[in-house]
Structure 1
Amino acid sequence: MAVHLKRKHSIDLHEMSEPSKCASANEQPSGYSGSSLRKCSSNPSTTDSVISKPVGQLSIPEAFMSKLAPGSARAKLITRNLALYIATDLRPYSIVENSAFKNFVHCLEPKYSVPSRPTLSEKVMPNLYEEVRQSVQSQLHEAQTIAMTSDGWTSRATESYITITAHFIDSQWILQNKVLQTRAIYECHTGTNIAQVLKSAVDEWKLERPHGLQPLTSDSAANMCVAAKQANMTPHIKCFAHVINLAAQQALKISEVQRLLGRVHIKKDKDLDTLSVTDITTAEYLVHVLEPLKTVTTILCDASQPTISMVLPLLSNLKKNLQVAEGDPNVIRQVKLAVANDLDKRYTEQDIQTLMKQSSAIDPRFKSLPFLDDIERLEVQTSIVSVIDHIDRSCSEHIAVIKTEPGMDKEPRPSSSAPASSPLPDLPSLEAEVPETMSTVTVDQKEAEEPCCKKSALESLFGDVFVVKHTPATKSRMDMIDEELRLYNSLDSLSINSSPLLWWKSNEYRLPYLSKVARHLLCIPATSVPSERVFSTAGDVVTAQRASLNPKNVDILVFLKKNVAV
């Protein structure tokens, strides 16, 4: 239409949309042509256009450029993706007030109106947070065991925060890592106050499980040990990365090592000390001794694979490398002894030792347990049976409680593949299911009800002479567990670079009892690295320009950054 008017009638719609200085409507002739519509009076006092539109009627450009309603599907989709962009890229809320950003959005979708900053912070982002929160809660609800990590940090505004993360293995045997909350703590960082934060997180996210275990991994600070005890977080795993760090610090406290490090430290405007051949040789020995500690720290930073099962094998390997050799210089002897003695003091609690042995035994990479003797291996096998009993018993009690709840009229029928006291993963039925309305009859009954058919020559000759019915021997629950253990131990160990979770995914139905133990133990992280990684993310959120950011918004932004899937 616009092209037609401009080409045939020489009318420019852009000029018509602006107030023109044309003749008044009462002086307009009754007839009109293209030239008369184009020509205006030269009188500057006239303000009415030649063609006036009725009040409330949109012009052609306005009709095609009407704004999207905020509640329309298109507007909601754009707003949600805008929130995702801000959350995943850690953009400030003030970006919606930036004129260049508005022009960019207008170029992409002229009909869309960018939400204001208050709307974004008070409505859009909280709505996205609730959406992602419900998704995380549904995943947590399906988890058999949920392990936690916790650590504290201080923002640029000197506000203290505590971050809590959750770790579990989902139905597809993928190790999930979720950031649950980053809450400001205004009280003193005592064990009692931190315990209240941990209890509140467990209640808010419904992390408690029937088996009663709530694993927690944190640093070895005294307040965290008190908090874990008061919050009934068991087992409490001391961060293995912190253990390695503390052991390395013991090596650096040796006087000869400090003197060597002081000489290689470059000071501004001062001459560099010249190192002797002995110093260079000592430094090379020192790097060789401490390099395994760096390698172990790098291995433990992998959040996609189980790490709790690697603690004892790595400790055994480190202690082997730290054995004093005959040709070691005196300073290297001191370094090895200092690191080894510090490692010997870690993880001495009996329950933690048992947990780590069980985790290594259930990991197909380390199931041979070469760092243990025969008696210890037998004790680990026995303890794994106890873990199976504990998990099954707690699950049975949990099912019994559910049955007594109101509205639960029908009880679930026990599976025919296992005793009712030990629920196994649902296996596909090999036989067609019989509707409840139909009566169950045996094969002999069906044959008796069917009309007699003429027997074949073979049937007339042999009859039932060669028909032998075998009754399958019923196995007790303990026999099934022992059979699984023998089968598991007879299989080849997995290569070190392979994924134990993928192995268990392939063998879950062959080893149903042991797979429960694997899902129960392998989700526990050996370090508090997941919660410490939030520090860098939070540092990008609470920048110097956003030091006054509300703690609630800090929690929302960190949560979305770590959990949202684009």
Structure 2
Amino acid sequence: MASEVNNNQLQVELEIFPYPGNTKSVVWKYFGFLKKTDGPPIKANLDMTTAICRVCRKKYANKGNTTNFRVHIDSEHGGELEPKIKSNIQPRLDNFVKSNKPVGKISPERQSTIDDALNKLIIGKALPVSIVDNIYFRAFVELLDPRYKVPSRPTVIKRLEEKKLKVEEQLKTQLRLSTDISITHDGWTSLNTKSYYTTTAHFIDNDWCLQSAVLGTIKLAGSHTSQNIANELKNTQDRWSLPVPTATSDNAANEQKAYEILGWNRFGCYGHRINLVVKNSLTFPEVSRVLGKARTLVGFFHKSSSMTSMLHDKQKLLFSDSKVGHRLLIDVATRWNSTLYMLQRLLEQAPVLMALANDPSLPKHASTTLKNSVFSFEELTMVEHLVKILLPFEKATTIVCADQHPTMQKVLPIVTKLMRATEISDEDSAVIKKIKQKMQAELNKRTQSEDISLLACLLNPFTKGLDFAPEERERAHSLLRGFVCGITLVKKEKEAPTGAEKDTDFPPLPALPNLPDENTEENTASESNRVEDLYQPSTAKKMKSVDTDDWLEDVVCTGESKDVENVAEKELERYIGCQVEIEDHNLTILEWWKKNAVFFPRLSILAKKFLAIPASSVSSERVFSLGGQIVSKKRCRMSHNNVDLFIFLNKNIKYW
């Protein structure tokens, strides 16, 4: 017993405690003090007259000067803190900030590289800038490279603003190389009830790759009138020096009016249209009653952990492991597909819910609620038919909301597919027939923007025959013919000014962008309306063009044919009549045009124009989720300039 007391006393005496209180000297990370009396490790209880090295336990008199301590570390331990402690008693890890003290300083190149990586981490993961002041983050960085000096918050913000300017210059260079730009535009409200509008740009570059970028997130001052929205869009166009774009937006009245004020061509977001078609078709009383029962049932389980546990136990008895643990899903008002997911899950769990509703061990109030909310067999049949109808719409929404590849050419096939999916059969009940009739009526409504999707479909080499919509073939050919004949190819003999490498003169057509007349001499002669020849002539042809005097142009043909309409008509006939080769079926649309653009120079210009138009405004809407991460409860006071800074860099990080 006495031996144990002596050992415990020795343990206490040998424990080295850190310097009590705040201190700036780094030596106190290696030196400490012994206790002279019991109690907490404060100055009154520590022997402050003698400092002890944690590594070799050598003692030094503590007279207020730390020079001898620093000399000891440099001479005895090579300037480094070795983790090998001579004593059997290990020091506590929380007393150390560094595991190694390096020799020398970090190089400027290394410091700059880590700074850039830190900035990219903050932007890419939408982390708060205050992370650089976090003691745990600093300790983590110090363990990785103790020589690196973590920058302050103002320094990080300043560097991000400088990076934004560089990214803007790179993006402007990309935009100047493209004649036709499409945009999406939508608004959202942050957690601190500030309204923002985000604009994204979409274009096909010279390598036939679809590019997307966020142009800006602007805090809209005042009310959301169409004039205010139009002014912000015009400011964005002027700031980025954009040509007149084609816009994709939702069907809000203020958005539609804004584009009318600007005179821009607009395509209504087809994802939004599908949402309206489905929501308007589910308003029949029979459907509303079933959906009401479904929401009551799901809400009952979400509010009771004990009922959820009983549901889980029933799943183990009736289902395989793949379905055990599935929770009931509730729908939200803004997303119709959440209603589909709710009904699918209720169909899956119907046997379990019926068994649970008839369980005698269930409390009376719970049993009553379940029996009133669980679907009857007739209602289950209707829900099955509803799910069958809604599944094609869910697939169509997924297709049109993609933003990594062109989607405009898929709108007309999607409409055809949905029309076939909603065809009425004799086996349909009266309610299902009414739902299908209403869906078909909504799908048959035509808008002026339908011509854009029709042209994009015709410019898809795999669907140019329009076999699924033969009634649209003649009108589509007429529209495309008007555009093709309006393009004049002019050989570029001199380097055109920046942003004016090529342009296109289109004739005015109904339901299409108002474009200047091709026969206007000023437009033909203007350098800003000239289009670079895409034929890529051989060296011999280039030499011949250079060696031919301008005075002989009416005798020697070296550039565009004088009979533009005839040449354009022949090009259109060749495109419509050519067969897609078997090996080309493995190509994407843009890959096909990259391979064949040289044979269809006018049509390739139109392909870049119409295939770059997104079929939905989802690119802008996806910024909402990022905005929610940035303007969170802990960062709700963030300025609108910093909101734009973070969103711009995060969405354009490929230009970093």
Amino acid of the structure 1 residue aligned with 2:109: A
Q: Relative to 1, partners in 2 of residues 1:433 and 1:190: Cα closer, same or farther, differing over 3 Å?
A: closer
For 2:116 and 2:621, locate their aligned partners in 1 and report how far apart those are by CA, in whole Å.
Answer: 29
TM-superposition CA deviations, 1:279-324 (whole Å, max 9, x none): 2221111111221111100111221221111112211221222222
Partner of 1:507: 596
- Preserved CA contact (<8 Å) 2:204 2:608: yes
For 2:458 and 2:370, locate their aligned partners in 1 and report how far apart those are by CA, in whole Å.
Answer: 56
Where 1:331 maps in the other structure, the secondary structure is helix
- Preserved CA contact (<8 Å) 1:368 1:493: no
Partner of 1:184: 219
Aligned residues: 469
For 1:41 and 1:247, locate their aligned partners in 2 and report how far apart those are by CA, in whole Å.
Answer: 83
- Preserved CA contact (<8 Å) 2:200 2:213: yes
The residue correspondences of 1:147-546 to structure 2 (distance < 5 A) are 147-208=182-243, 213-234=244-265, 236-265=266-295, 266=297, 267-268=299-300, 269=366, 270-272=369-371, 273-345=373-445, 347-349=446-448, 352-373=449-470, 376-392=472-488, 423-425=532-534, 427-431=536-540, 476-492=563-579, 499-546=588-635
Pairwise CA distance, 1:262: 2.3
- Preserved CA contact (<8 Å) 1:191 1:223: yes
Q: Relative to 1, partners in 2 of residues 1:480 and 1:548: Cα closer, same or farther, differing over 3 Å?
A: same
Partner of 2:137: 101
Pairwise CA distance, 1:264: 3.0
Q: Relative to 1, partners in 2 of residues 1:296 and 1:172: Cα closer, same or farther, differing over 3 Å?
A: same
For 1:230 and 1:85, locate their aligned partners in 2 and report how far apart those are by CA, in whole Å.
Answer: 41
For 2:261 and 2:600, locate their aligned partners in 1 and report how far apart those are by CA, in whole Å.
Answer: 37
Partner of 2:314: none
Pairwise CA distance, 1:473: 13
Q: Relative to 1, partners in 2 of residues 1:326 and 1:18: Cα closer, same or farther, differing over 3 Å?
A: closer
Where 1:368 maps in the other structure, the secondary structure is coil
Where 2:540 maps in the other structure, the secondary structure is coil
Q: TM-score of the superposition, structure 2-length normalised?
A: 0.65
For 2:559 and 2:217, locate their aligned partners in 1 and report how far apart those are by CA, in whole Å.
Answer: 56
Pairwise CA distance, 1:198: 0.6
- Preserved CA contact (<8 Å) 1:392 1:423: no
For 1:51 and 1:254, locate their aligned partners in 2 and report how far apart those are by CA, in whole Å.
Answer: 84
Q: Relative to 1, partners in 2 of residues 1:327 and 1:156: Cα closer, same or farther, differing over 3 Å?
A: same
Pairwise CA distance, 1:81: 1.5
For 1:18 and 1:198, locate their aligned partners in 2 and report how far apart those are by CA, in whole Å.
Answer: 64
For 1:474 and 1:96, locate their aligned partners in 2 and report how far apart those are by CA, in whole Å.
Answer: 61
Q: Relative to 1, partners in 2 of residues 1:340 and 1:60: Cα closer, same or farther, differing over 3 Å?
A: same
The residue correspondences of 1:35-184 to structure 2 (distance < 5 A) are 61=79, 65-68=103-106, 72-121=108-157, 123-184=158-219
Partner of 2:40: none
Q: Relative to 1, partners in 2 of residues 1:423 and 1:50: Cα closer, same or farther, differing over 3 Å?
A: closer
For 2:62 and 2:150, locate their aligned partners in 1 and report how far apart those are by CA, in whole Å.
Answer: 40
The CA RMSD over aligned residues, in Å, is 3.8
Structure 2 unaligned spans of 5+: 1-26, 33-57, 72-76, 81-100, 301-365, 501-528, 550-556
Where 1:348 maps in the other structure, the secondary structure is coil
Structure 1 unaligned spans of 5+: 1-13, 20-39, 54-58, 406-419, 442-470
Q: Relative to 1, partners in 2 of residues 1:340 and 1:43: Cα closer, same or farther, differing over 3 Å?
A: closer
Q: Relative to 1, partners in 2 of residues 1:378 and 1:264: Cα closer, same or farther, differing over 3 Å?
A: closer
For 2:587 and 2:421, locate their aligned partners in 1 and report how far apart those are by CA, in whole Å.
Answer: 24
- Preserved CA contact (<8 Å) 1:306 1:523: yes
For 2:62 and 2:424, locate their aligned partners in 1 and report how far apart those are by CA, in whole Å.
Answer: 103
- Preserved CA contact (<8 Å) 1:367 1:493: no
- Which moved further from structure 2: 261-270 or 189-198? 261-270
Q: TM-score of the superposition, structure 1-length normalised?
A: 0.74
For 1:316 and 1:511, locate their aligned partners in 2 and report how far apart those are by CA, in whole Å.
Answer: 28
Structure 1 residue 562 corresponds to structure 2 residue 651:
yes
For 1:164 and 1:348, locate their aligned partners in 2 and report how far apart those are by CA, in whole Å.
Answer: 23
- Preserved CA contact (<8 Å) 1:167 1:176: yes
For 1:364 and 1:48, locate their aligned partners in 2 and report how far apart those are by CA, in whole Å.
Answer: 80
Pairwise CA distance, 1:493: 5.0
TM-superposition CA deviations, 1:368-422 (whole Å, max 9, x none): 1124446x423422322322344438x899x99969x9xxxxxxxxxxxxxx976
- Preserved CA contact (<8 Å) 2:217 2:643: yes
Pairwise CA distance, 1:174: 0.9
Pairwise CA distance, 1:130: 1.1
- Preserved CA contact (<8 Å) 2:186 2:199: yes
Amino acid of the structure 2 residue aligned with 1:249: K
Where 1:431 maps in the other structure, the secondary structure is helix
Pairwise CA distance, 1:275: 2.8
Pairwise CA distance, 1:440: 8.7
Amino acid of the structure 2 residue aligned with 1:358: L
Q: Relative to 1, partners in 2 of residues 1:472 and 1:515: Cα closer, same or farther, differing over 3 Å?
A: closer
TM-superposition CA deviations, 1:65-102 (whole Å, max 9, x none): 45447xx3332222111111111111110010012221
Pairwise CA distance, 1:177: 1.1
- Preserved CA contact (<8 Å) 2:491 2:560: no
Amino acid of the structure 2 residue aligned with 1:176: Q
For 1:42 and 1:221, locate their aligned partners in 2 and report how far apart those are by CA, in whole Å.
Answer: 78
Q: Relative to 1, partners in 2 of residues 1:169 and 1:421: Cα closer, same or farther, differing over 3 Å?
A: closer
For 2:176 and 2:212, locate their aligned partners in 1 and report how far apart those are by CA, in whole Å.
Answer: 14
Where 1:275 maps in the other structure, the secondary structure is coil
TM-superposition CA deviations, 1:24-45 (whole Å, max 9, x none): xxxxxxxxxxxxxxxx999987
For 1:135 and 1:42, locate their aligned partners in 2 and report how far apart those are by CA, in whole Å.
Answer: 61
Q: Relative to 1, partners in 2 of residues 1:78 and 1:333: Cα closer, same or farther, differing over 3 Å?
A: same
TM-superposition CA deviations, 1:448-495 (whole Å, max 9, x none): xxxxxxxxxxxxxxxxxxxxxxx9999643443333223322333589
- Preserved CA contact (<8 Å) 2:204 2:211: yes
Pairwise CA distance, 1:325: 1.6
TM-superposition CA deviations, 1:177-228 (whole Å, max 9, x none): 11110111121111111111111110111112xxxx4211111010101111
- Preserved CA contact (<8 Å) 1:148 1:217: yes
- Preserved CA contact (<8 Å) 1:67 1:113: no
Amino acid of the structure 1 residue aligned with 2:447: T
